[in-house]
Amino acid sequence: MKNIRDNLDLSGKKVFLRADLNVPIVGNKVIDDTRIIRLIPTINFLRSKGAIIILASHFARPEGKFIPEMSLKNIVPALEKHISCKIKSIDDCIGNKVENEINRSAAEDILLLENLRFYNEEENNDIKFAEKLASLADLYVNDAFSCSHRAHASITGITRFLPSYAGLLMEEEISNLNLVLNSKAAPSVAIVGGKKVSTKFKILSFLADKVDYLIIAGAMANTFIKAQGGEVGKSYFEEDFINEARDFFNKTYKAKIFIPDDYVVKDAVSSEIEVLDTDQLKPSSQIFDIGTTSVIDICNILSSSKVVLWNGPLGLFEDEKFSTSTFFIARFIAKLTKANKLKSIVGGGDVVAAVEKSGTASSMSYISTAGGAFLEYLESGSLPGIDALKVPYQ
């Protein structure tokens, strides 16, 4: 896969830079600019080489309609704050008006196209739409790893018409996830939490054959407790996947599978909060976090590990009463990472928000910007958007 460091002559060249600017906005203001910040190195690199940057992204799900609240114009102030230069915002992403604006631009200029999903053709990977996007530029750079699990026009279709390269963030994401796929450090551990296990059996099976320890926590662990004949009371679990969870336990894997054996529960009748072992759970119990013994066990596993992949929180961390395990493990991982005893890779789901809320984000080795793409890359070792960068253009 080619990347933008490959001695390219970019002076005066028009570069179509596919980014992920699908950032959270409240009241037309960006409330989390992480994805913007992570894009800056690629933008700075391209500007330093004299390129004209045509910045493109989707935002939310407008379903082919123009919706002012979903316009990328709303993120211009946040972009300009971090890039320290003016951004020329265009109210379309294809057509003569866009072409004319680009042709009037000079080296180091940045033009922001309008939301790609204002056209249904984007998500449909319409080849004519992809060709129209490609006609705006001299070359294509994909720095949207977090979108590259989607075969959309600006991700895969466009590469058929332009010389295509990976951006710096794309390289960074791949390099760090490959530490898990190819790690020779032993032992390694994966922590997979969150609510639903139904969408994660494939990645659990994959990781169970890759790592030395697989820790399954969060509400998804409840389905595994039920599969083993345990009581989860009023707690969330997925009844339709109990047999699949049982089959998972019956298979032989490289990893030692760890399911927490004590929990912080709230009684549905009395509202009392207490810590109970798995065999003490009652029909009125509601599980919201894991208990002290399980946290200690996880810390012991981490202490003997060299690499950890963390995907998904361990409990309902949004509620202070049930945030203890997630925040404690975050701080423990951060401590080991800062001491150079552990390589920590965090991504997917709400776990990024959890480490940020715990104040440990800056201490992790790497935090991925991706959600679904994070897990899909681990499962397959590639993504449609990555594969597209390897195919010669027409």
Asked whether residue 149 is marked as a ligand-binding residue, the answer is no
| Residue 5 marked in a binding site | no
List, for residues 331-371, the tens digit of each pLDDT value.
999 999 999 999 999 987 688 889 999 999 999 999 998 87
DSSP letter for each residue of 81-116: HHH-S--EE-S-SSSHHHHHHHHT--TT-EEEPP-G
For the sheet with 52-56, list strands across it: 88-89, 110-112, 52-56, 14-18, 139-142, 164-166
CB of 311 closer than 8 Å to CB of 347 = yes
Are 125 and 153 a contacting pair, CB within 8 Å? Answer: yes
Tell whether residue 58 is among the known ligand binding residues. Answer: yes
| Integer Cα distance of 380 and 389 in angstroms | 16
Angle, to 10 degrees, between the axis of helix 34-48 and the axis of helix 76-83? Answer: 50
Contact indicator for 327, 303 with CB cutoff of 8 Å: no
**Is beta strand 285-290 parallel, antiparallel or unpaired with respect to 262-267?**
antiparallel
**Contact at 8 Å (CB) between 49 and 8?**
yes
At 361 the pLDDT is 93
pLDDT in tens, 176-212: 888 887 766 668 999 999 888 998 898 899 999 989 9
Cα–Cα distance measured from residue 354 to residue 316, given in angstroms and rounded to the nearest whole number: 10
Pair 237, 219: CB distance under 8 Å: yes
| Residue 331 is labelled as binding a ligand | no
Tell me which residues are annotated as active site. Answer: 35, 196, 349, 372
Give residue for tokens 């005066």. 12
Of 325, 216, 224, residue with least CA distance to 265: 325
Query: 60 a known binding residue?
Result: yes
Question: What are the residue ranges of helices labelled H in 211-368?
Answer: 220-227, 242-250, 292-303, 324-338, 351-357
Q: How far apart (Å, rounded) are the C-alpha atoms in residues 191 and 307?
A: 11
The Cα 86–Cα 77 span in angstroms is 9
CB-count exposure of residue 124 (10 Å: 0-12, 13-18, 19+): middle
What is the CA angle 102-104-109, rounded to 5? 65
Domains, the chain? 14-166 (3.40.50.1260), 174-380 (3.40.50.1260)
**pLDDT at residue 372, as a whole number:** 81
Amino acid identity for residue 52 in this structure = I
- Structure tokens, 262: 């004590």
Name the DSSP letter for residue 372.
Answer: H
Strand partners, 241: none
Q: Averaged in consecutive runs of 10 residues, what is the pLDDT profile of the chain (394 residues)?
A: 87 97 87 91 96 97 95 95 93 96 96 98 98 97 96 97 97 89 78 90 91 95 95 95 94 94 95 96 96 97 95 93 96 97 87 91 92 86 94 76
Identify the pLDDT of residue 375: 85
User: What percentage of the chain reaches a pLDDT higher than 70?
Assistant: 98
Rounded Cα distance, 95 and 102, in Å: 11
3-state secondary structure of 212: coil
Which 8-state DSSP code applies to residue 157?
G
Angle at the Cα of 133 from the Cα atoms of 88 and 39, rounded to 5 degrees: 55
Does 117 carry a binding-site annotation? Answer: yes
Per residue in 282-317, pLDDT (tens digit) is 999 999 999 999 999 999 999 999 999 999 999 999
Ligand-binding annotation for 200, yes or no, is yes
Q: Is 59 annotated as a binding residue?
A: yes
Would you say the pTM of this structure is higher than 0.85?
yes
pLDDT of residue 349: 62
Q: State residue 394's pLDDT score.
A: 66
The bridge status of strand 273-277 relative to strand 262-267 is antiparallel
